[in-house]
Structure 1
């Protein structure tokens, strides 16, 4: 598994290539000095990437070792940390230290990773009994461990929180695997919200969007998510519509959110809102590397020995 982590580091590092030496007139010495300074910056960035990946790998490994037991039905989350956990779970199955695991993937990517890892999988259906589930979170609120999922799109363009949220709700135990910068006091950024399709006698999605905008007036903007590229508040020429015909709104907060749980409660009272990307009031653990040590936190944010 160390090889997996090193490969991930190497792949990430290639995303930020260092510049080559360029001859500018005859001033080669000056160009070399600039190159050395930029190389130091690139090396520091690569070290940060390496530390992040190793921290995620350590957290993913501990999650599997701590919570997964033979014979379990395990919800397989989506994201880089979940991918590492799936690979490590496959390693333990091949070694024989775990047996009889059935995985329930939350996306086609996690299903593909599970297949490569040699994990038997089954599709999720409402009512499926899941012993334990792990997944990534976009951000987690300290103290409450309320999380946000679904900011990223899946490879099919569908919002990632729909099936993922169903899986975490069905799990007997749940753990979020995150990097330290996602564990914060004041959550910022967007909350994905799923709103009903425009069927007869139902409110238009724009009416729902305007009600959400009024609710968070001055604190957030409401944009319709596009299926490709970037777009304005209406979703551009190719707005995202789910297979059920629903629309996805991104409620983009311009000020830190003081209480994610209250935001969730407010959204659920609005007519036309089907679901949202906030996971609250579900007992869960957070596995995160803090102060050079992987820690398992409960809903009271105390370290679990």
Structure 2
């Protein structure tokens, strides 16, 4: 669900890159926080690398605690962040990994790490502003399509059936396969994350009236770890394409909605 956001985190500033369920990273400074969510699928890494560099240069400041998620775009951002630290352009950065992969990448590029007892969704929820890094094909401005949902693999079928009942007639629920095309059950080789979770795609066949309502419903289902909906938080999307970057900011939309 790859944008950036800032949030107050007691005396720290946190930001985050999220892959979906894509790639995740979180930055935190001593007064506010910023989250960056990333997704990656471009065959040419140059556009994603440009987006990763722009995100770090524009939103990461010295003294931040940075939460790291997973995904190729996040790895690019972590590598670049490490280069900036070594060059002295940034100082006093501490990383908070939420998965083994990002912890390994951050350690290799020399970013100091600390432990964080919480989920990536917890960090995102604490943000005042989110920054998402996504590809042009992944960006959607309309409320339809598919919503990824990360679930526990144990008793996954019960979780999928409960979600299907929630949106009966309005959506289909498919378990994502690891390769190729498979049926609703995900075939013989369903996708399994490094943490051992499955991914469901909730494919809406009717217009989505309220993403916030969908998010609230999903969060009440036993077995749901997190989902790809980010709402009620000011967001900036850094969209990578072969023609350059496009920056979309929803701050004005949120302010209009509150008025």
TM-score normalized by the length of structure 2: 0.64
Distance of 2:43 and 2:193 partners within structure 1: 34
Is 1:183 the counterpart of 2:175? The answer is no
Partner of residue 192, structure 1: 149
Taking the TM superposition and a 5 Å limit, the aligned residue runs for 1:132-147 are none
Does the Cα contact within 8 Å between 2:170 and 2:205 map onto a contact in 1?
yes
Partner of residue 68, structure 1: 60
Q: Per the alignment, do residues 83 and 256 of structure 1 end up closer, same or farther by CA in structure 2, a change over 3 Å counting?
A: farther
Does the Cα contact within 8 Å between 1:209 and 1:249 map onto a contact in 2?
no
Other structure's SS at 2:63 match: coil
Distance of 2:81 and 2:206 partners within structure 1: 36
Taking the TM superposition and a 5 Å limit, the aligned residue runs for 1:86-235 are 86-126=78-118, 163-186=119-142, 187-194=144-151, 206-223=157-174
Give the gaps of 5 or more residues in structure 1.
Answer: 1-47, 127-162, 199-204
Other structure's SS at 1:279 match: coil
Structure with more of its chain in helix, by fraction? 1
Tell me the CA shift for residue 224 of structure 1. 5.0
Other structure's SS at 1:69 match: coil
Is 1:58 the counterpart of 2:50? The answer is yes
Relative contact order higher in (CA < 8 Å, ≥ 6 apart): 2
Tell me the CA shift for residue 112 of structure 1. 1.5
Q: Per the alignment, do residues 206 and 113 of structure 1 end up closer, same or farther by CA in structure 2, a change over 3 Å counting?
A: closer
Tell me the CA shift for residue 78 of structure 1. 2.0
* Offset from partner CA, 1:236-262 (integer Å, 9 cap, x none): 778789999x97461431536534333
Does the Cα contact within 8 Å between 1:289 and 1:295 map onto a contact in 2?
no
Other structure's SS at 2:203 match: strand
Specify which of 216, 239, 242 is matched with residue 288 of structure 1.
239
The alignment's C-alpha RMSD in Å is 3.7
Distance of 1:243 and 1:116 partners within structure 2: 19
Does the Cα contact within 8 Å between 2:172 and 2:205 map onto a contact in 1?
no
Does the Cα contact within 8 Å between 2:147 and 2:201 map onto a contact in 1?
yes
Query: Would you say how many aligned residue pairs link Structure 1 and Structure 2?
Result: 209
Q: Per the alignment, do residues 240 and 62 of structure 1 end up closer, same or farther by CA in structure 2, a change over 3 Å counting?
A: closer
Tell me the CA shift for residue 93 of structure 1. 0.6
Other structure's SS at 1:100 match: coil
Taking the TM superposition and a 5 Å limit, the aligned residue runs for 1:20-39 are none
Tell me the CA shift for residue 72 of structure 1. 1.1
Other structure's SS at 2:205 match: strand
Q: Per the alignment, do residues 257 and 192 of structure 1 end up closer, same or farther by CA in structure 2, a change over 3 Å counting?
A: farther
Question: Which has the larger Rg?
Answer: 1
Structure with more of its chain in strand, by fraction? 2
